[in-house]
Amino acid sequence: MNAVTTPATARELTTYVLRLADTSLVLAQRLSAWIGHGPAIEEDLGCANISLDLLGQARLLYAYAGELEGAGRTEDDFAYLREECDFLNATMAELPNGDFGQTIVRQCLLDLWRLELFEQLTQSTDMRLAQIAAKAVKEIRYHGRYSSGWLVRLGDGTDESHQRVATALVMLWPYVAEWFAEDALEQALAERGVVPSVAAVQAGFEARLAPILRAATLTRPSNVDYRWFGKRAQHSEHLSHLLAELQSLHRAHPGAQW
Amino acid sequence: MRPSVPRVQSLKVYGAIAMTLPQDWALYEVFVRAKRGLDHKHVGSLHAADAAMAIEHARDLYTRRQEGVSLWVVKSADIVASAPEDAAAFFDPAEDKIYRHPTFYDIPKDVETL
Amino acid sequence: MYTQGLLEAPPKAASAVEDSERMAHFQARIDAEEKIEPKDWMPEAYRQTLIRQISQHAHSEIVGMLPEGHWISRAPSLLRKSILIAKVQDEGGHGAYLYSAAETLGIARSELIEQLLSGRAKYSSIFNYPTPTWADVAAIGWLVDGAAIMNQVPLCRCSYGPYARAMVRVCKEESFHQRQGYHAMLSLARGTPAQQRMAQDALNRWWWPALMMFGPPDTASQHTALSVRWKIKRFTNDELRQKFVDFTVPQAQFLGLTVPDAQLHQDEDGHYQTGPLDWSEFNAVLKGNGPCNAERIAERREAHAAGAWVREAAIAHAAKRAARAVA
Ligand SMILES: [Fe+2]
Ligand SMILES: [Fe+2]
Ligand SMILES: [Fe+2]
């Protein structure tokens, strides 16, 4: 059974699917910058694998968004021909890589959140979303294993590595709040069982994070008041730079096939 | 063959733990089972700082195209190997035991089920 | 090709003290097409030649990630982006397989990387050319990976077992590289006038460097003989270059592109004869005066230095865990 019955629900679901897709794409774009520049060749390969998974997720989700929207937009139309103010990714995904430690903290937080979210999405009343989630969740489970493994090594490594990831964690933590600030759209979809309740996802995220921070000898920062809302297209300064680069060639040749 | 001796950096102290830092992560040998029913087969090596990292690196390095369904990693230093100079003493004595092979026995054609 | 530096740094001659009996046994094994394995006795010159060749090959794969890697962020479609990430990732994998093979000869990867970063080791000059447009990514896959395959397929039968096995793995992956490159080139050649111009421009810039990847002409290459006798090398530079030209010219014609060589013609045996190659350019790039030599090494050095604290932390963590397990 497909949960989409009314045009209003289809619109809401399209927006939600684009949030997921944009987060995957933007994170893939960031992570792929490590290829050729990682701390070891094996780490270049690891980051490349995660990027490829994320791109694959983005493409599936864009294809679905295009179907829901019914206006004939393709994955590349969504990725290359929307403006910064159209992108709905979680803000954290667009933040710069920083050093490897900062990348790992960002990755680990996003992985644990997305792991919980996608696991719960496999129960969605929307069959397509549930199927996409079932495929993605296998990938994200591996990503979380990779990033949390590294977070523990760096947190409980040398004084320098501990200091670096501790600083990154404090820097990145404020961007977590957005994920758990439920808005009307999420609420409406949750009521129909299309998406999980934000509270349930938050509980799962915290439960996954706590033992990893403990093993990494890191302290969970306290919450801050300010909230970013990338999911409502209120972005940091970094996204427009990222998109300028990502979209430059495609936009320079309107209508070209590649 | 010269053994690969990791070069050692100066002694560093981390918290209470003093240790010498080799420059390379440890070398691990990687074995992949291509599909169920087959043995694990040696495919190469990689570097990793610990066992969990080694198995993840093996996955990322040696199974990018579904080459396997199962992985083993073993620290290269833990492998005990026979020496090439022992090869004659180890393996040649089996050469003349031709009676161990089924083809050694000429059986009359009439015996069909043997 | 990927190991052209051999030509200026010949291996030291085998020392006279080396046991002539073991030497004869070694050569007999090679003549019988048996593989040499890591723990076998081998002449020091064989070991050194292999270390140099395999590590230069590995360095080439690693440095080779950079020129194409710079286009990952701007790849013009999500499919091309995925393909390019997978391709560049494979090259990193090739580097890792090859460092592994070199390590079986008794040298640590850190030592090899140190040789690259200090500028003592060579890597293929082809990666010192810039990639100013997207078509360069396509041209590299088509021509550079194509030339690499031509050279590397015979290496799958190299006398040294670990190198031969690594090359089998590498070669399996390379044909994807060449095909995706040609496919991308085809899209450009069949695309808009701007895309066609981009494609032709890339062919113009990559054609001659690709031919030079096979190394100097046989008349100028004095080290082939020993490598052939040891079955490290099985075809000469000119043989491989000719084969590449014969394969590639029709591919260019199919694309509707012009090979930038006014003297190119087919002889009565059907082989394509090219005009003369400008070896002075090749030598300049080899000596470090190519367009991107300094940039490439600087980029590798920066990555290596920036990763030092990460590598150290992982070792420190492993040691802490080991200590805790004992306690
Ligand atoms: Fe290559
Ligand atoms: Fe390669
Ligand atoms: Fe390649």
Of A3-7, A137-141, C29-33, minimum mean pLDDT range: A3-7
Burial of B76 (0-12, 13-18, 19+ CB in 10 A): middle
Q: Between A and C, how many CB-CB pairs are < 8 A?
A: 146
Which pairs with CB-CB distance under 8 Å and at least 24 residues apart come from C257-266?
A: C257/C185, C257/C189, C257/C199, C257/C200, C257/C203, C258/C200, C258/C203, C259/C203, C259/C207, C260/C203, C260/C204, C260/C207, C260/C208, C261/C207
Mutate to test the interface with B, among A31, A35, A41, A42 (most CBs of B within 10 A): A42
Of C253-262, C281-290, C317-326, minimum mean pLDDT range: C281-290
Asked whether residue A258 is assigned to any structural domain, the reply reads no
Find the residue in C nearest to A158 (Cα).
Answer: C313
The chain-wide mean pLDDT, for chain C, equals: 91
C231 CA from centroid of ligand 3 (Å):
23
Q: Residue A11: pLDDT above 50?
A: yes
Collapsing DSSP states into helix, strand and coil, what is residue A234? Answer: strand
Q: Using the structure block, give the residue that is written with the tokens 């820097």.
A: A171
Contacts of C89 in chain B (CB under 8 A): 64
Contacts of C317 in chain B (CB under 8 A): 49-50
Quick check: C92 and A100 CB within 8 A?
no
Q: Smallest Cβ distance to B49: which of C93, C109, C314?
A: C314
Structure-block tokens of residue C6: 């051999």
Q: For residues C52-76, give the mean pLDDT.
A: 97
CATH architecture of structural domain B12-80: Roll (3.10)
3-state helix, strand, coil in chain C (%, to 5): 70, 0, 30
Asked whether residue A214 is assigned to any structural domain, the reply reads yes
- What's the CA gap between C303 and C299, in Å, rounded? 6
pLDDT band for position A8 (cuts 50, 70, 90): confident
Asked whether residue A257 is assigned to any structural domain, the reply reads no
Q: For residues C122-130, give the mean pLDDT.
A: 93
Range of the domain at A145: 7-220+227-252
Could you say which ligand is closest to the alpha carbon of residue C126? 1
Q: What is the pLDDT of residue B96?
A: 86
DSSP C209-276: HHHHTT-S-GGG-TTHHHHHHTTS--S-HHHHHHHHHHHHHHHHHHHT---S-TT-EE-TTSPEEP--
Q: Residue B4: pLDDT above 80?
A: no
Interface chains of chain C (3 or more CB pairs under 8 Å): A, B
How open is the CA angle C63-C67-C69, to the nearest 5 degrees? Answer: 95
8 A C-beta contact, residue A202 and residue A141 = no
Q: How far is B77 from chain C (nearest CA, A)?
A: 12
B51 CA from centroid of ligand 2 (Å):
27
Structural domain total, chain A: 1
A69 CA from centroid of ligand 3 (Å):
40
Q: Using the structure block, give the residue that is written with the tokens 């470090």.
A: C288
Find the residue in A nearest to B12 (Cα).
Answer: A158
Strand partners, B75: B28
Domain containing residue A69: CATH number: 1.20.1260.10
**pLDDT tens column, A153-203:** 999 999 999 999 999 999 999 999 999 999 999 999 999 999 999 999 999
Helix count and strand count (H, E) for chain A: 10, 0
Q: Residue A118: pLDDT above 90?
A: yes
Higher pLDDT, C289 or C206: C206
B76 CA from centroid of ligand 3 (Å):
28
- What's the CA gap between C307 and B24, in Å, rounded? 12
Q: Residue A103: pLDDT above 80?
A: yes
DSSP B21-78: -BSSPEEEEEEEE-STTSPEEEEEEEEESSHHHHHHHHHHHH-TTS--SEEEEEEGGG
Find the residue in C nearest to A37 (Cα).
Answer: C303
Quick check: A49 and B57 CB within 8 A?
no
Model pTM?
A: 0.92
